[in-house]
Amino acid sequence: MADFLLRNIDDDVMDTFKRRAQIKGHSLQQELAEVIRTAARPTRDEILRLFEEFDSLGDGIPADVDIVELIREEREGRGWR
């Protein structure tokens, strides 16, 4: 896994993340890692754009693929991993 250092964060922002971490019962590092993981997930528009790219490559999306379910799975953190 990668490490990075982020400087010059406003104190009120850090306090907010510290409170969230405390409420959830985990460390500030765990809280910030979860925020970054969530932000790194592809957006709905990115997923749809990807499907459009796939569609342009061939016969399109197979009929048995439920795009809505794929997006739902991604939103819930269960897909595309």
Question: What does 51-63 look like in DSSP terms, one character per residue?
Answer: HHHHHHHSS-S-T
How many distinct structural domains can be found in the chain?
Answer: 2
Which pLDDT value is given to residue 81?
46
* Residue 80, domain member (yes or no): no
Domain holding 68, by residue range, is 44-75
Please give the structure tokens belonging to residue 7. Answer: 């400087």
Residue 2 included in any domain: no
| Residues 47-81 pLDDT 10s | 888 888 877 776 655 667 777 887 888 888 765 44
Average pLDDT, integer, range 10-30: 97
Q: Report pTM.
A: 0.58
The reply to whether 62 falls in a domain is: yes
The number of residues in the chain equals 81
Whether residues 28 and 49 share a domain: the answer is no
Instruction: Report the SS3 class of residue 47.
Output: helix
**36 and 52 share one domain:** no
